[in-house]
């Protein structure tokens, strides 16, 4: 259990480092945005109406909420907009969604498929498979990334099916792959287990398809053509 919690923290930490975030940066943004929020609320016409007071007026005072509110959005929200753009342009929506869930206070476990199965194998050898499975069953959002990117063990289909079955209609699961769903049976070598897994994944689920060309390749094409 402690091992699983450590893995969650490591996933969060690695993502924050990858995005260039720091605690000090967020702290500074928080305090400045909080300070700017007070005049926005004080000069808000709706708040004045609700609380029954009149804020001092002077030339431009009516623009205070709009101007300072825009500053708060640009200064405080820029890092999140940039992060979302980076994740989406890099075809990493799973990490962007995971980060958004964390910011809303949810616990998230992000693991690449081969790492998830390696963790489960290690837990089995250490005699804590039951505890590890209970953790995987209860974490609110489990992100299983890059199915098909690496060769998986022969038991991969059975292990993934067990995880999905335990989480079915209990918690949210996101699974990404660069391979079409039709190939998963051949990829994992167990068509029956994959069929059962997809039956649970797709029930209440949503399928998002990205284009066949990577945004990294697409964004580099003009530069490569120019240098070539």
CATH topology of domain 96-202: Rossmann fold (3.40.50)
The structure tokens listed for 41 are 């609320």
Tokens 């099916």 belong to: 161
CB 115 within 8 A of CB 150: no
Read off the pLDDT band of 217 (50, 70, 90): low
Round to whole Å and give the CA distance between 134 and 119.
13
Q: What is the pLDDT of residues 176-186, one digit of tens each?
A: 998 888 999 99
Neighbours of 23 (CB within 10 A): 8
The pTM score is 0.57
User: Per residue in 127-150, is it b (16+ CB within 10 Å) or e — as a string?
Assistant: ebeeebbebbbebebbbbbbbbee
Read off the pLDDT band of 214 (50, 70, 90): low
DSSP code at position 138:
H
Length of the chain: 228
DSSP labels, 81-98: HHHHHHHHHTT-HHHHHH
Residue 199 pLDDT > 70, yes or no? Answer: yes
The structure tokens listed for 32 are 């400045």
20-29, 113-122, 125-134: which has the minimum mean pLDDT?
Answer: 20-29
């Amino acid at each position: 259990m402690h091992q699983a919690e450590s893995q969650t923290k490591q996933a969060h930490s690695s993502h924050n480092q990858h995005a260039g975030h720091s605690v000090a940066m967020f702290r500074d943004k928080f305090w400045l945005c909080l300070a700017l929020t007070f005049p926005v609320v004080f000069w808000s016409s709706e708040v004045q109406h609700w609380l029954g007071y009149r804020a001092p007026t002077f030339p431009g005072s009516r623009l205070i909420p709009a101007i300072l509110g825009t500053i708060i959005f640009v200064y405080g929200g820029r890092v999140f907009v940039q992060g979302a753009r980076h994740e989406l342009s890099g075809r990493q929506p799973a990490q962007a969604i995971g980060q958004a869930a964390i910011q809303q206070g949810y616990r998230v476990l992000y693991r690449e498929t081969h790492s998830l199965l390696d963790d489960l194998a290690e837990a089995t050898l250490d005699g804590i498979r039951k505890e590890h499975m209970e953790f995987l069953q209860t974490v609110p959002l489990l992100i299983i990334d890059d199915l098909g990117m690496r060769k998986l063990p022969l038991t991969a289909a059975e292990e993934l099916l067990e995880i999905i079955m335990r989480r079915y209609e209990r918690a949210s699961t996101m699974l990404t792959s660069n391979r079409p769903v039709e190939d998963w049976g051949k990829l994992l070598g167990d068509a029956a287990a994959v069929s059962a897994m997809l039956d649970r994944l797709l029930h209440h689920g949503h399928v998002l398809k990205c284009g066949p060309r990577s945004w990294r390749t697409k964004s580099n094409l003009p530069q490569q053509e120019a240098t070539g």
